[in-house]
Amino acid sequence: MFTVQRRRSLMAAAAMTTASVLALAACSSDSAEDPETSATGGSTAGAGGSGEEVTLDFAFWGNDVRADMYTQSIDLFMEEYPNITVNSTFLDYPAFWEKRQTEAAGGGLPDVMQFDYSYLRQYSENGLLLDLGPHLGNEINTDGFTEQILGIGVVGDTTTALPISTNAWGVYTNPQLLESTGVADFAGGTWDDYKAWAAEVTEASGGEIFGGTDYTGRIQNFEIQLRAEGKNLFNEDGTPGFDEARLTEFWESGAEMRGDDGSGISQQRLEEIYPTSGFGAGLTASELTWDNFGAGYLGELGEDYTELGLVAPPVTVEGAKDLYQKPSMLHAIAQNTEHPAESAMLVDFLVNSPEVGAIFGTNRGLPASSAMRDGITFEGLDEQIRAYEESIADRLGDAPPVPLVGYGTLEEKFRVLGTELGFGTLSVEDAVSQFFGEMDVTLNS
């Protein structure tokens, strides 16, 4: 949990320091040529776009395993469209964005890019990404996407990216630990029900196993409570969807799970096992997190653990659309591409092709397109995640506004304040005051 959170804070810091660079790049970026559309509604064999010989640059972050998967996929694309040559490059995550920021300043972004949600607003609002609207339903087949998923890539009223894969918020549980305590799996219910269940687990184990971790340390748990009340964490205009009283209420609600005498694992114990999470260390029976974290937890737990439970988060308001599908990653096209139609065709192939789905599996997350999912044989944890996202369909609402510039910084501040609350070194009143002070700086800078 902490490793991911800290990586996100670094992302946000990098984003804030380069915002001015992107703004300058937007002023000098050239408009792309008008898209040449086809009436095929997706990938078709034969010449692509204009039919002329075209070379595209494609960039992604990852490792050698993902690079091999992309090589196989791009080879298939070039077999289908022999007039299009795709040159691909990859870097690790930090280096990838450092290079994009340099390219953005010089107006030389790759034609097609794997993209991260945290950077989408910056690049979109600075005019660096192509409007995909004219290509949706033409070069890019959208039949396999829900409206909610398509909405993830919209900034303002413009679609500037298409999700490759999605994840959703859930509760992972550990069946083997629960069996040892004699307590049944969390059966759902309210946040009070969840706290009562966690306390039962801790008591039944004699304090050797904890029911969970203080959930108020994660900003996502606050977000889904706000969504249940019909509010956003942050609105499209960058204003917060909550006041000091509501944040106070939220942080106070975690008091029963905090501290040495709480039903959750203590902050001191978490520090001792860092960077492993309490759940990954086999010390807590549950963890509220993104559903694609399961493989990482199994890796931390070791070979003695072969399965996890995955259930929906506690309910704040019955019947509310509090959950949403978040993109694990997206694909975007540079505004200054000289080949928008062909670039759109590459995006279509990489997000819709069942053959590409068979190559990647869930390496990039649960595929957002049903067409790509058709190419995957789901089993084990992959099948569990797929089934989970189907099971919460009645709680899935529209994705929230694209994260504001500096969101990562606020998310990290929220986590740090939650840690201090866990140690007992800060009062809820002071934590709220500090968070609102950080928001004032971030939202008005």
Q: What is the pLDDT of residue 172?
A: 97
**Cβ pair 321, 395 in contact under 8 A:** yes
Measured from the Cβ of residue 370, the count of other Cβ atoms closer than 10 Å reads 15
CATH 3.40.190.10 residue ranges of the chain are: 18-168+327-394, 169-323+403-443
DSSP code string of 364-429:
TSEESSHHHHTT----HHHHHHHHHHHHTGGGB-PPPPPPPTTHHHHHHHHHHHHHHHHHTSS-HH
pLDDT in tens, the chain (445 residues): 333 333 333 344 444 444 444 444 444 444 333 333 333 334 433 456 778 899 999 999 988 888 999 999 999 999 999 999 999 999 998 899 999 999 999 879 999 999 999 899 989 999 999 999 999 999 999 999 999 899 999 998 999 999 999 899 999 999 999 999 999 999 999 999 999 999 999 999 999 999 999 999 999 999 999 999 999 999 988 999 999 999 999 999 999 999 777 899 999 999 999 989 999 999 999 999 999 888 889 989 999 998 999 999 999 999 999 999 889 899 999 999 999 999 999 999 999 999 999 999 888 888 999 999 999 999 999 899 999 999 999 999 988 988 998 888 899 999 999 999 999 999 999 999 999 999 999 988 7
What's the pTM? Answer: 0.79
Q: Please tell me the distance from the alpha carbon of residue 223 to that of residue 369, in angstroms, as a whole number.
A: 26
Q: What is the pLDDT of residue 362?
A: 84
**Cβ pair 344, 333 in contact under 8 A:** yes
169-323+403-443 — its CATH code? Answer: 3.40.190.10
**CA 423 to chain CA centroid, nearest Å:** 28
Q: What is the pLDDT of residue 370?
A: 95
* Token representation of residue 260: 């040495």
Q: What is the pLDDT of residue 47?
A: 54
**Cβ pair 178, 382 in contact under 8 A:** no
**Cβ pair 171, 186 in contact under 8 A:** yes
Amino acid at site 442: T
Q: What is the pLDDT of residue 48?
A: 64
CATH architecture of the domain 18-168+327-394 equals 3-Layer(aba) Sandwich (3.40)
**Cβ pair 130, 333 in contact under 8 A:** yes
